[in-house]
Structures are given as structure tokens and as C-alpha cells.
Copies of this chain bind each other. A is one copy, B any other.
């Protein structure tokens, strides 16, 4: 599969409009998730890690107790690509399935 190209600003806006909770921060796709506790937060991270490894595309993320902050960018493409949106959509789906992952 060819690696995707960086999306233009207009394309980013259209895709962001369809992806609640995510925004553009420092040139990366960003979302803060908050869970009820560490156990839920880390279970989310494990599910997201499985998706990331399968896509062969990995997040920049940090965790403090029940909070998980995610930044997505495609370094090879020097920008945000379709691959970042795919991982973002899967992370949102995981968090919504638990009904506990909430954007702050």
C-alpha cells in the first residue's frame, strides 16, 4: 500500500467536521480522552495499540491516570494524512463503544 499524502487545509477542515472531539493542534490531529479511572484508560490504550500496530501507524500519546492525550501526524508525509484520520476514527469508535471515553 502506498503511504498516503499530506492533506490540504481544505481537506483537513472537511474531515475534521466529520470527526467530533478532534481538532488541529500544532499541525497534528489532537484529542484528549477522559475515562472513569486508570483501568478504563489503559484498556482503551491497549485496544488503540492493537489498531495502531495493525495499521502500522502509531500515535504520539500521553497518559496521566484517567486521561489520554493523543496527537496524530504522518512524519513521512510531513503532514496529516488519511492514515491519521483512519486511526482517529478507530480510536473514537473504541472510546464510544466503552461509553466512557469522553472528550474533555
- Chain A residues with a Cβ under 8 A of chain B: 36, 38-40, 42-47, 49-54, 56, 58-65, 94, 97-100
Contacts and interface: CB of A to CB of B under 8 A. Distances in A.
- How many subunits of this chain does the assembly comprise? 4
19 contacts: A36-B97, A38-B50, A38-B52, A38-B53, A38-B58, A39-B47, A39-B53, A39-B94, A40-B97, A42-B49, A42-B53, A43-B43, A43-B44, A43-B46, A54-B54, A54-B56, A61-B63, A97-B99, A98-B99
Contacts of A42: 46-47, 49-50, 53
Interface of A is mostly: helix
A26 to B, nearest CB: 14
